[in-house]
Structure 1
Amino acid sequence: MQVNDEGKPSVGWKVLGVLSMLMGFASISTDVYLPAMPAMARSLGASNGMIEYSITGYLVGFAFGQLLWGPISDRHGRRAPIAIGIVLFLFGSAGCALAGSAQAIVAWRLLQALGAAAGVVIARAMVRDLFVGPQAARVLSTLMVVMAVAPLVGPIVGGQVAAMAGWRAIFWLQVGIGLFNLATLYTLPETLPVAQRHDGRLLDVLGHYARLVREPRLMAYAAGGGFFYVGMFAYVAGTPFAYITYHHVPPQLYGLLFGVGIVGIMGSNAINARLVARHDSDTLLLWGTTLAAVAGVGSAVAAYWDVGGLWGLFFTLFLFVASTGFIVANSIAGALSDYPGQAGAVSALVGAFQYGSGVFGSGLVGLFADGTPRPLGFIMALAGVGACVGAAMLTRVPRAVRLAA
């Protein structure tokens, strides 16, 4: 393995490619099966809300998994925990494919999420191992552009697979993707040297989390990203039924509408990667959350009064989703910048806040499902305004003092 002048592994396109695939596990786990959700409800004799809880269950496992894998990777290195996580993902995906009820799907999704979380949280920590400051934010944005290919083509592929082979085939496809990622793991260098690892007990880890949650600036980053993820997973759980059931979009075309939103994410990440060299990442975060707030309120208006029909709802939701590029990378990079010695734990905590908040988004959409897009629009508005308030808190909180490793 080659190293650079600072003694760190040299970063080539192959390494960045593997990291982008690992960070894309969350999208691979969910976006591919979105077009099949109405068909799953019919096949399993379940309500729309019960099938939407499969996303909620996934988010519960994903949030908890990040809290677990972050400290493990700080203690044992990055590569081995990722491999274990992929194996758990494989079992969870196979379980979903063989499940006979919606409740079983929810349970297997929990295991699937625990495994997928390892790839996402540890990949972010590996970026922090290799890059610092604005460069880390720029690399995260670049990786998000690359990994956006998965959710761009995922619903399109998922719709076609479901049409040809049924919804269970989608989960077997996820098994194949997991096996491919496991095979490519050998190309990934270990980015955390033994000398920089932390030998702590579980109680020490919990104590460190307790210290982190008392950092106001870190919590401001977590709040900005967390509220945004409430809206994002309300969008993920609610749009299959808003588009397919309410607005009568064919399942095979749902992926195209979803894919346009992903193109928006790719575009905003590309713009953010350029702007972060000239503007403070906190400023870009505030710009992004402001756009999310405006778009969220607009989606509530479009959904409640049916303004513009399908296209009115689609346009406002597109603007909300497109703000991702200014919110996710900057909130994560900002949170990591003050705690370079605890990249795994901080990445885990921020990720847990974000995906844990998504539980409320998908859960509320399922709880208040009434056959219309109105609950979706209301939750998007609440999420956008909350994210904006969280980002604005950064202007009132002094930069955190770095915790000792």
Structure 2
Amino acid sequence: MSQQRAGRRLGLLVVLGALSGFGPLSMDLYLPSTPTIAVDLHAGQALVQLTMSGCVAGLALGQLVAGPLSDSLGRRRPLLAGLAAFVVMSLACAVAPNIGVLIVFRFLQGMAGAAGIVVSIATVRDMYDARDTARILASLTLVSGLAPVLAPVIGGQLLRVTSWRGVFCVLGGIGLALLAASWWLPETVPAARRQPPRFARMLADSATLLRDRQFAGNAVTVALSTAALFTYISTLPFIVEDAYRQSAQRFSLIFAVNALGLMAMGQLSARLVRRRSPAALLCTALVLQAAGAAALIAAASVGHPPLPWLLVPMFVIVAGFGMMRPNGTALALAGHAAIAGTASAYLGAMQFLSGAVLAPLAGVGGQGSAGPAAIIIGVLCVAALGLHLAITRGGRPPVPAPELAAEGGAD
């Protein structure tokens, strides 16, 4: 019986990990195709990056819809509806006739996929206390981390046999597979806890979250660090393939190595959180990212440095994200079990909106220029560390694990 229960829980975590990887999956699979899209649709780097920003903006706004709905209607219904819409919009992207239509379809695709992200995180918070939430979210990076590892590699290989339009068809197929897997997910919000969705209640819940210095401080910290990651994601293919004349397959390999660093730090965090507090691990990760950002700015200031001079600091920044995100997320959600969907929605929306606004600015320096990207990433990483220390100091202290367990966590 215990083995059967462990097997069911493992299967649940695998599906939740895949759902939490919707963001990187939606963006990274087509990353090697971005230079090809620019040529095929007669668009510049800045416009092609808007297809990324459109998806990111959709992922942000979609979470603000799916999160509160999942508190009111339960987790399953918004999730299944979102996955079905994701399949439809992926196929629509595949037939987009021009860059403007593709940007619109990417926005709608992101809105649909947002349900997977917010519901997966809220479900973990439904089931575990704060310390275990940090551990489980870090463990989920072993599954969700496969998206940035495998997606660009698969995307690069797909370009050998199909066009960028075929890549979006594959995304639709992946969405269909996740829809089938999610059909068997349990409902983690009891009917007694659900209330009909009301705008006034959503405003009241929003005010509760924004008044909490710990939520606001950790949410801003995670958002700034995520914006740095999105800037890296949107500019790396142009730097590697255009400025340094590397192949799409070589770019995929570089991207995969960095993603493996992210996964490794996530797993290290899952082990360390048993002995160290999530707050201490979060601060450690932010210091690591700030150091990598300083090295990246120094390398980019040379003008056109050897490619490894840029790649090594980027690896440090991306790896640090693997420890930063689960701990920052767990600390932000602590104490908000009753509105976990809404809290997860705001947390995710801030991350994706900051990325959507700031990442395109990295393209103003010209095709493949590393300087603007390095400056933006550096400012964001340093600001994340500074604001975390400033905003969270003096706020509500993190709730001890035993108290959180009494609040309703389960493990």
TM over 0.5: yes
**Cα shift at 1:11:** 5.3
1:295·1:317 contact (CA, 8 Å) conserved in 2? yes
Q: Which residue of 2 aligns with 1:224?
A: 221
**Cα shift at 1:296:** 1.1
RMSD: 2.1
Q: Which residue of 2 aligns with 1:252?
A: 249
The amino acid that maps onto 1:219 is: A
Match of 2:118 among 112, 118, 121: 121
For structure 2, the residue ranges without an aligned partner over 5 or more in a row are: 400-406
Cα distance change, pair 401–289 in 1 and its aligned pair in 2 (3 A): closer
* TM-score, reference length from structure 2: 0.93
1:282·1:394 contact (CA, 8 Å) conserved in 2? no
CA distance in 1: counterparts of 2:33 and 2:366, whole angstroms? 18
Q: Which residue of 2 aligns with 1:105?
A: 102
CA distance in 2: counterparts of 1:132 and 1:225, whole angstroms? 20
Aligned residues: 399
Q: Which residue of 1 aligns with 2:402?
A: none
**Cα shift at 1:206:** 2.5
**Cα shift at 1:371:** 3.8
> What percentage of aligned pairs have identical amino acids?
32
1:50·1:366 contact (CA, 8 Å) conserved in 2? no
**Cα shift at 1:307:** 7.2
Q: Residues 360-375 of structure 1 correspond to what in structure 2 (within 5 A)?
A: 360-375=357-372
1:141·1:329 contact (CA, 8 Å) conserved in 2? yes
The amino acid that maps onto 2:93 is: C
Query: Aligned pair 1:337/2:334, yes or no?
Result: yes
1:14·1:187 contact (CA, 8 Å) conserved in 2? no
CA distance in 2: counterparts of 1:122 and 1:96, whole angstroms? 24
Cα distance change, pair 351–256 in 1 and its aligned pair in 2 (3 A): same
Query: Aligned pair 1:278/2:300, yes or no?
Result: no
Cα distance change, pair 338–329 in 1 and its aligned pair in 2 (3 A): same
* TM-score, reference length from structure 1: 0.94
SS of structure 1 residue aligned to 2:183: helix
Structure 1 outlier segments of 4+, above 4 Å: 8-11
Match of 2:191 among 171, 188, 194: 194
Cα distance change, pair 87–366 in 1 and its aligned pair in 2 (3 A): farther
Q: Which residue of 1 aligns with 2:348?
A: 351
CA distance in 2: counterparts of 1:137 and 1:369, whole angstroms? 40
Q: Which residue of 1 aligns with 2:52?
A: 55
SS of structure 2 residue aligned to 1:211: helix
Q: Which residue of 1 aligns with 2:307?
A: 310
SS of structure 2 residue aligned to 1:261: helix
1:145·1:265 contact (CA, 8 Å) conserved in 2? no
Query: Aligned pair 1:83/2:80, yes or no?
Result: yes
Query: Aligned pair 1:24/2:9, yes or no?
Result: no
Q: Which residue of 2 aligns with 1:385?
A: 382
1:369·1:375 contact (CA, 8 Å) conserved in 2? no
**Cα shift at 1:214:** 2.5
Cα distance change, pair 148–155 in 1 and its aligned pair in 2 (3 A): same
**Cα shift at 1:389:** 1.2
CA offset digits 1:306-341 (Å, max 9, x no partner): 475100100010100000122110111111112111
The amino acid that maps onto 2:181 is: T
Q: Which residue of 2 aligns with 1:138?
A: 135
Cα distance change, pair 316–243 in 1 and its aligned pair in 2 (3 A): same
**Cα shift at 1:208:** 1.9
CA distance in 1: counterparts of 2:171 and 2:366, whole angstroms? 28
Cα distance change, pair 32–202 in 1 and its aligned pair in 2 (3 A): same
Query: Aligned pair 1:159/2:152, yes or no?
Result: no
Q: Which residue of 2 aligns with 1:294?
A: 291
**Cα shift at 1:85:** 0.5
SS of structure 2 residue aligned to 1:323: helix
**Cα shift at 1:401:** 9.8
Query: Aligned pair 1:210/2:212, yes or no?
Result: no
The amino acid that maps onto 2:212 is: E
The amino acid that maps onto 1:250 is: S
Match of 2:34 among 13, 34, 37: 37
CA distance in 2: counterparts of 1:210 and 1:100, whole angstroms? 43
**Cα shift at 1:158:** 0.3
